[in-house]
Amino acid sequence: MAERPATDKIDVPKGTWDRCEQCGHMLFSKEYEENHYVCPKCQHHRRVDARTRINQLVDPGSFEEFLEDLVSTDPLQFKDRVPYRERMEAQRKKTGEHEAVVVGKAYIRGRPVMLIVMNPAFIMASMGSVVGEKITAAIERATDDSLPVVLVAASGGARMQEGMVSLMQMAKTSAAIARFDDAGGLYLVICTDPTTAGVAASFASLGDFILAEPKSMIGFAGPRVIANTVKQELPEGFQSAEFMLEHGFVDRIIPRGDLRKEIVRLIDYCGK
């Protein structure tokens, strides 16, 4: 058989291969997807959008979404480089989502849950009035239906285009969680990369159990902001999930492929 000339190119179907953004390892796309977008070489957990996350967690066909068409009214008529309304419309076209969080009822290994999943693909899952309303509504329905709540946090924080209206969602969601707790509900939080700012300072830190994916960034202000404010050298990796585990902010670090099993274990342990 004649050898292929060295100058000949081999056509590779588009989408066949992927590359780990952490170590650069080349990955067969289908295997990468089946491994929950975790690099088998360096164990880097790629950020995934809300629909991908839901498909990874819930029993097939069990997710029942609600409030999917809720959109912001642009209360401040905010404009920076781009008017807020135009920015939001561009994000809806880009992601196919109306907002930065998806909520609904689902089953995880046969256990009914209220699932709340933030979407880092939508303005870095920033929290505005609609995000706060959907999370609050989901927690209130879980209270009425006696369902455990599983919340997957991933956010850059409060959405500046909605100003104080956005910051109010910290108190609004926290109050809903307090009522849920008074009713005896089980609240599980999964911190993914990144979980920061107003989200980390409110509903993401209030779980009965707080889990985290490996090497996720978890904290309030960014490292450079803190360093410039306190004028001190900060500990290496001080905003990593591993640092937070060591200092008691999170309860366990769970690889993505084990999350379903761990969620069910906690639900069964608490009798919910």
Q: Do residue 59 and residue 39 come from a single domain?
A: no
Q: Do residue 33 and residue 105 come from a single domain?
A: no
Q: Do residue 178 and residue 97 come from a single domain?
A: yes
Please check whether residue 171 lies inside any domain of the structure. Answer: yes
Q: Do residue 258 and residue 157 come from a single domain?
A: yes
Q: Do residue 19 and residue 152 come from a single domain?
A: no
Please check whether residue 7 lies inside any domain of the structure. Answer: no
Q: Do residue 183 and residue 262 come from a single domain?
A: yes
pLDDT at 111: 98
CA distance 201 to 140: 20
Structural domains counted in the chain: 2
Domain with 24 in it: 15-46
pTM of the model: 0.91
Per-residue pLDDT of the chain (272 residues; tens, 9 = 90+): 445 454 454 454 556 899 999 999 999 999 999 999 999 999 999 999 999 999 999 999 999 999 999 998 888 899 888 899 999 999 999 999 999 999 999 999 999 999 999 999 999 999 999 999 999 999 999 999 999 999 999 998 899 999 999 999 999 999 999 999 999 999 999 999 999 999 999 999 999 999 999 999 999 877 777 888 888 777 888 899 999 999 999 999 999 999 999 999 999 999 86
pLDDT at 15: 64
Please check whether residue 120 lies inside any domain of the structure. Answer: yes
Q: Do residue 19 and residue 56 come from a single domain?
A: no
Strands 111-118 and 149-155, sheet pairing = parallel
Please check whether residue 2 lies inside any domain of the structure. Answer: no
Q: Do residue 176 and residue 157 come from a single domain?
A: yes
Please check whether residue 205 lies inside any domain of the structure. Answer: yes
Please check whether residue 132 lies inside any domain of the structure. Answer: yes
**What CATH number corresponds to the domain at position 59?**
3.90.226.10
Q: Do residue 187 and residue 111 come from a single domain?
A: yes
Q: Do residue 23 and residue 123 come from a single domain?
A: no
pLDDT at 35: 95
Q: Do residue 64 and residue 143 come from a single domain?
A: yes
Please check whether residue 6 lies inside any domain of the structure. Answer: no
Q: Do residue 23 and residue 60 come from a single domain?
A: no
Please check whether residue 1 lies inside any domain of the structure. Answer: no
The token pair that represents 215 in the structure block: 């090497």
